[in-house]
Structure 1
């Protein structure tokens, strides 16, 4: 019997991962968005309901990341039927945790399952990237790839797209520190330098290579040495109150390092154990308490599952 409705979940993600600007990302556990997609008698794609967004997200199909991603997939399939979308936002908007990517990926996984899985999971990536073009003006893959596939990913090349899953070391944990600020991706990109010196490019390349090697070798010290961004972070960190204080404060606790998650303002901290991840969350809380700036804290292992189906209705 034909399925009538499918619900999928896609996780929050950390993009850039310090030195890996636009080419590295990883997924976190539990935190994310849910999307239900159902068959409709009316042709076309319609956003039926949105909850958890405080009324900020658009219902127009050409402006919502869920519907944009699904419409890109349906165009490839030459599908002329009707689909309806119910979006349940679990991620704050403008947080740097891959909010738009999670919505689009969950929508695609649900729609693909509803239509009988015409695409392999990895083949949904180009459609998800089209939704990022709507969300932030460029079809980046460093959020949608880990949201879809899970784990750490490297985007080696965009033309043609070449996404490479990386090893996830045992014991690696992430702390996310989300200050109650909205930092627009466009604004965050506007402060970046347009030209990079040869010295900075060389340093950044060495750190990216070191981070990838550290992941595969499960060498926490090498990961720690490599979590250093000399290109984007110096310009972007000034937009995030408390960033420098957090970065300095976590070192004595044994954290591997920290960086700006996506375009911010969320700060990610990597730790070699869950115990240290909770300890650095306490230290980060102290920093923002002194500033009287509310924050949300999340501690998570690296999510190697990615997006998945939650339920199907016949």
Structure 2
């Protein structure tokens, strides 16, 4: 068995409008790289980070805390070194912290001989996510590890369902080069919602899941609507309404805030529509004067992997 592996840790879109803290999907081609090696000295050490100014101290780093969570459940007489090469910007809304947490537990599990299932790895990765957001949640780490779309049915105990993506679904992500911290975006949310809003949101979430299973693209589009979280958060993102409306007017099934923002996503049926939507979103954002990136991606059904 190898003592060193290199892994790809993909970006993700969480919430998907109506699925706050319970839904997510995995992206292709966008993600971090990590190198994890088994060493004689016990414990976890982060030896190198590129692409971001993040702490090397194990207990302050998302990957380090997640790695400790899995290592502390074993009787290993050795340890691990981790290199993190960030390609996903922190605070981007496409799962930067979850990629680090997921990559750490995936890589260590591989070097341990896979004692844990992928579903079990999600629980360990959540411990790392808590460092970044202040709470354990799986809407990013679950799709990052499992791939595809994922639904977190419950947390006590953790119950995650993977849903394979309909083959024609494409995601477009506009990532402005500004940072919205998860903790700040959670602070604007009300602790209570009206019964009317809750009923609407439940219906949309059920519709989205039904649409994914039946490959009913029109149902998916009708269900990608958030009446609770988006109205409270959208003011944190310049030109949000303009970009969302441009995406919908050019054929997107739905559009919304990716994770905590500031990234804005759109789901589309087919690559041709996705390219048209990406162009419209780009045009709608240019007058902000803020630099940004546009990504077009199929849904990644594999998740974190060895490269």
TM-score range, shorter chain: over 0.9
Instruction: Encode CA deviations 1:29-66: one digit per residue, 9 max, x unaligned.
Output: 0111111111223221110000111xx20101001111
Aligned pairs (5 A) from 1:89-104: 89-104=86-101
Q: What residue in structure 2 maps to residue 307 of structure 1?
A: 304
Three-state SS of the structure 2 residue aligned to 1:224 is: helix
Instruction: Encode CA deviations 1:158-209: one digit per residue, 9 max, x unaligned.
Output: 0011101123112110000001110000100000011100000000000000
Does the 8 Å CA contact 1:44/1:80 hold for their aligned counterparts? no
Aligned pairs (5 A) from 1:41-52: 41-52=40-51
Does the 8 Å CA contact 2:248/2:255 hold for their aligned counterparts? no
Three-state SS of the structure 2 residue aligned to 1:211 is: helix
**Residues in 2 aligned to 1:247 and 1:167: alpha-carbon distance in whole angstroms:** 25
Q: What residue in structure 2 maps to residue 279 of structure 1?
A: 276
> Is 2:190 aligned against 1:193?
yes
2:83 is aligned, of 70, 83, 86, to 86
Instruction: Encode CA deviations 1:131-181: one digit per residue, 9 max, x unaligned.
Output: 011111111000000000000000000001110112311211000000111
Q: What residue in structure 2 maps to residue 223 of structure 1?
A: 220
- Give the deviation of 1:257 after TM superposition: 1.0
- Give the deviation of 1:247 after TM superposition: 1.3
Q: What residue in structure 2 maps to residue 11 of structure 1?
A: 10
- Give the deviation of 1:18 after TM superposition: 0.3
Instruction: Encode CA deviations 1:82-125: one digit per residue, 9 max, x unaligned.
Output: 21111111101100100011111112111111122221222211
**Residues in 2 aligned to 1:99 and 1:161: alpha-carbon distance in whole angstroms:** 22
Q: What residue in structure 1 maps to residue 33 of structure 2?
A: 34
Three-state SS of the structure 2 residue aligned to 1:212 is: helix
Q: What residue in structure 1 maps to residue 243 of structure 2?
A: 246
Runs of 4+ in 1 over 3 A off after TM superposition: none
Q: What residue in structure 1 maps to residue 202 of structure 2?
A: 205
Does the 8 Å CA contact 2:164/2:301 hold for their aligned counterparts? no
Give me the CA root mean square deviation: 1.0
Q: What residue in structure 2 maps to residue 58 of structure 1?
A: 55
Three-state SS of the structure 1 residue aligned to 2:58 is: coil
Q: Which ranges of structure 1 fall in alignment gaps of 5 or more residues?
A: none
Q: What residue in structure 1 maps to residue 109 of structure 2?
A: 112
**Residues in 2 aligned to 1:67 and 1:251: alpha-carbon distance in whole angstroms:** 40
Q: What residue in structure 2 maps to residue 124 of structure 1?
A: 121
Three-state SS of the structure 1 residue aligned to 2:205 is: helix
Three-state SS of the structure 1 residue aligned to 2:73 is: helix
For these two proteins, the number of residue pairs brought into alignment is 307
> Is 2:154 aligned against 1:150?
no
What TM-score comes out, normalization by structure 1 length?
0.96
Three-state SS of the structure 2 residue aligned to 1:188 is: helix
Does the 8 Å CA contact 1:288/1:294 hold for their aligned counterparts? no
Does the 8 Å CA contact 1:96/1:266 hold for their aligned counterparts? yes
Does the 8 Å CA contact 2:237/2:262 hold for their aligned counterparts? yes
Three-state SS of the structure 2 residue aligned to 1:200 is: helix
What TM-score comes out, normalization by structure 2 length?
0.98
1:297 is aligned, of 291, 294, 297, to 294
